[in-house]
């Protein structure tokens, strides 16, 4: 339910009905915003079935693909959004994670094969992160911050007696990764060291002894842990000796000794999946924001590209058997569906059709991948979406994170704006993922404003090389991207004709003081430290430069946001209204950091489109 604040000089809230009454949009926009997607594919072991998530009913729910007749049916019916699904090794039971109105405090529920479920791990005031089933399915593992809001301890739960036990305490963020195959006392855990770096440990849950995986005293990223069937060998991605993420292996007996398998010179490897026959490793390579699937044959040591796979962003690789695996894919022309790949036939088959929209799919546009040299010579990539050579207006779309990446996937608002004659530009400014560790760290702490300067250099490049109109440029961003919008509007006010800030940070000091304690220490590694960097926070804070804003601003936030508190939007809007600036605030009472409910998704994006049309087309 959105709450609205608008006007000049008066801080007013008007409660709106939790429906689409009063939200007007043309029929074509309605088609764009009602495109459904499928994501998060996960095979049910031994069943020739898989589950996936979709917002088909208005919020993310679980669906089942039945291999016998290929029907897609709901798998359980839940009151709120489903975040995750985990199947037991035998496939007889599943665990789903559900939160409440976007607060990200995931609780666990046990499903049987018929989709009937019961409470399993429920402590509504706390977060829970699942860490897997033991091989014999007698126990599960998860972390939770029940002892202290900023401390995540490791728990086990006996699936027969339902006895819960704390097996490892940690004063920080600790997440369980996996049980060691065929072991009842050895698990792999991850401890977050900085905003990007983590350490993996082999933990004995009976003795408390832990052994570091990989070399000691080297900061690095570790992800995508995959264990062999016999539990002796583990495969993992890391950048401990490279600028990009590479594939390594280690044995349970010698976890400190990582053996390199392969690396990609320019790009990060993002996901690993081991074939059931243990002979082949499938991995995805992030080539500039689009995925390439490759195979590594352990016998021949041969690397091959998988053929006949649509171009797009691929994840959630899961094997049905030795020759078939499923994966989720998104692209500008495939909003989100599940495909099945048959290795011996080298064919990818679409098995869900949620993203099909005959009314508008002929309007969907793939972007041009471009790059420019920023103010200091750093090369910055961006996606350029446009149907016409001479566009009416331009919108710059800034991703969040900041350790994230805009990829070549589907965004309904981008696609709609392009269909209406806009150009949309999506840059990966310095500090973005996907281009190596050095590029990722170029915006840390007191280098923060260099990434904002990238946006100003981008505008110069677009005017010179794309011929865009300099007086009709808007900017939009979510979360950290919202900060980038505010920083751009306050530090380069002459460049922008309109701005949209969604769940953005308006002052790093107040953000760090009010965000969840589990996030504060990690965010300080990226943004700077309370006390030590307060002078810099005051210097760059958009809240301290609101008088410079010339463009109208549209602001959205979720009341239940546990990452960026809603106070960031309220303090911003209050001060701008007192200055009689053109600003409008909408607060969704039943959302958090994301906007997951369909009616809110439609409300938000309809207002974004109306806002840009009103403020950017007037001078065209």
Do residues 273 and 261 lie in contact, with contact meaning Cβ atoms separated by under 8 Å?
no
DSSP 546: G
High-pLDDT (> 70) share of the chain, %: 95
Long-range CB contact pairs, 54-58, < 8 A, 24+: 54/354, 55/596, 55/598, 55/601, 56/354, 58/597, 58/598, 58/599
- Binned at pLDDT 50, 70 and 90, residue 114 comes out as confident
Do residues 386 and 417 lie in contact, with contact meaning Cβ atoms separated by under 8 Å?
no
484's enclosing H/E stretch is: helix 480-491
Side-chain half-sphere exposure of 400, counting CA atoms within 13 A: 14
Q: Give 379: exposed, middle or buried? Use CB within 10 Å, 0-12, 13-18, 19+.
A: exposed
Mean pLDDT of all residues belonging to the chain: 92
Query: Collapsing DSSP states into helix, strand and coil, what is residue 407?
Result: coil
Which DSSP string do the residues of 49-64 spell out, in sequence order? EEEEEE-TTSS-EEEE
Contacts of 514 (CB under 8 A, 6+ apart): 565, 567, 568
pLDDT at 22 over 70: no
> Tokens 């000794």 sit at which residue?
257
Pick the closest to residue 337 from 359, 357, 360 (CA basis): 357
Do residues 228 and 250 lie in contact, with contact meaning Cβ atoms separated by under 8 Å?
no
Pick the closest to residue 315 from 296, 292, 347, 297 (CA basis): 292
* CA–CA separation, 204 and 302 (whole Å): 36
pLDDT at 473 over 70: yes
Do residues 381 and 366 lie in contact, with contact meaning Cβ atoms separated by under 8 Å?
no
Which DSSP string do the residues of 224-243 spell out, in sequence order? EEEE-TTSSEEEEEE-TTSS
High-pLDDT (> 90) share of the chain, %: 83
pTM to 2 decimals? Answer: 0.91
Backbone φ and ψ of 601, nearest 5° = -60, -45
CA distances in angstroms from 277 to 96, 170, 551, listed in the order given: 28, 37, 59
Which DSSP string do the residues of 493-511 spell out, in sequence order? GGG-SEEEEES--S-HHHH
Do residues 244 and 267 lie in contact, with contact meaning Cβ atoms separated by under 8 Å?
yes
Query: Collapsing DSSP states into helix, strand and coil, what is residue 415?
Result: helix
Tens-digit pLDDT profile for residues 343-363 = 999 999 999 999 999 999 999
Partners of 279 in the β-ladder: none
Arithmetic mean of pLDDT, 11-33: 54
* CA–CA separation, 253 and 565 (whole Å): 45
Pick the closest to residue 80 from 64, 96, 69 (CA basis): 96
The runs of H, that is alpha helices, within 210-330 are: none
* CA–CA separation, 90 and 93 (whole Å): 8
- Binned at pLDDT 50, 70 and 90, residue 508 comes out as confident
pLDDT of residue 431: 96
Tens-digit pLDDT profile for residues 542-590 = 999 999 999 999 999 999 988 899 999 999 999 999 999 999 999 999 9
Arithmetic mean of pLDDT, 417-446: 94
């Amino acid at each position: 339910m959105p709450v609205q604040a608008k006007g000049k000089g008066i801080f007013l809230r008007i409660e709106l009905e939790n429906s689409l009454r009063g939200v007007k949009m043309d029929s074509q926009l309605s088609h764009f915003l009602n495109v459904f997607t499928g994501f998060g594919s996960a095979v049910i072991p031994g069943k020739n079935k898989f589950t996936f998530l979709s917002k088909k009913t208005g919020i993310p729910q679980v669906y089942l693909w039945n291999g016998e007749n290929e029907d897609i049916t709901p798998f359980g019916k839940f009151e709120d959004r489903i975040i995750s699904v985990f199947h037991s090794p035998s496939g007889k039971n599943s665990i789903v994670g559900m939160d409440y109105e976007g607060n990200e405090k995931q609780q666990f529920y046990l499903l049987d094969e018929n989709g009937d479920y019961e409470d399993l791990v429920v402590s509504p005031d706390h977060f829970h992160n699942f860490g897997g089933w033991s091989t014999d399915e007698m126990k599960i593992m998860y972390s939770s911050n029940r002892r202290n809001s900023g401390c995540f301890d490791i728990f086990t739960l006996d699936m027969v007696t339902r006895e819960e036990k704390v097996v490892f305490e940690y004063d920080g963020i600790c997440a369980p990764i996996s049980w060691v195959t065929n072991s009842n006392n050895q698990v792999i855990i991850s401890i977050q060291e900085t905003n990007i770096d983590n350490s993996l440990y082999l933990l004995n849950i009976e003795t408390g002894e832990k052994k570091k995986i990989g070399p000691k005293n080297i900061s690095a990223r570790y992800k995508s842990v995959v264990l062999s069937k016999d539990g002796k060998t583990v495969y993992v991605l890391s950048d401990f000796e490279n600028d990009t993420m590479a594939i390594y292996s280690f044995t349970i007996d010698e976890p400190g000794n990582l053996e390199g398998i392969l690396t990609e010179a320019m790009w990060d490897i993002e996901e690993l999946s081991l074939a059931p026959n243990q002979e082949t490793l499938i991995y995805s390579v992030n080539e500039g924001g689009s995925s390439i699937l490759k195979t590594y044959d352990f016998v021949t040591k041969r690397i091959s590209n998988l053929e006949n796979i649509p171009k797009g962003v691929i994840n959630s690789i899961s094997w049905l058997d030795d020759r078939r695996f499923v994966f989720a894919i998104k692209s500008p022309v495939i909003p989100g569906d599940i495909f099945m790949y048959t290795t011996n036939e080298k064919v990818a088959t679409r098995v869900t059709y949620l993203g099909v929209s005959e009314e508008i799919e002929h309007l969907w546009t793939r972007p041009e991948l471009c790059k420019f040299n920023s103010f200091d010579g750093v090369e910055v990539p961006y996606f350029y979406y446009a149907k016409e050579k001479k566009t009416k207006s331009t919108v710059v779309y800034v991703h969040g994170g900041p350790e994230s990446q805009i990829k070549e996937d589907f965004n309904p608002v981008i696609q709609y704006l392009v269909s209406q004659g806009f150009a949309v530009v999506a840059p990966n400014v310095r500090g973005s993922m996907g281009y190596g560790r050095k590029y990722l760290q170029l915006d840390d702490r007191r280098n923060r404003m260099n990434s904002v300067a990238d946006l100003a250099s981008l505008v110069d490049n677009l005017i010179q090389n794309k011929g865009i109109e300099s007086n009709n440029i808007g900017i939009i961003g979510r979360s950290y991207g919202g900060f980038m919008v505010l920083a751009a509007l306050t530090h380069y006010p002459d460049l922008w004709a309109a701005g949209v800030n969604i769940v953005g940070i308006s002052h790093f000091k107040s953000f760090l003081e009010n965000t969840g304690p589990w996030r504060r220490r990690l965010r300080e590694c990226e943004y700077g430290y309370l006390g030590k960097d307060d002078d810099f926070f005051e210097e760059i804070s958009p809240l301290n430069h609101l008088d410079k804003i010339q463009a109208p601003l549209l602001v959205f936030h979720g009341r239940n946001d546990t990452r960026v508190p809603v106070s960031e939007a309220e303090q911003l809007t209050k001060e701008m209204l007192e200055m009689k600036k053109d600003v409008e605030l909408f607060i969704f009472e039943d959302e958090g950091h994301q906007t997951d409910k369909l009616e809110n998704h439609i409300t938000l994006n309809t207002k974004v489109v109306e806002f840009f049309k009103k403020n950017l087309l007037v001078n065209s």
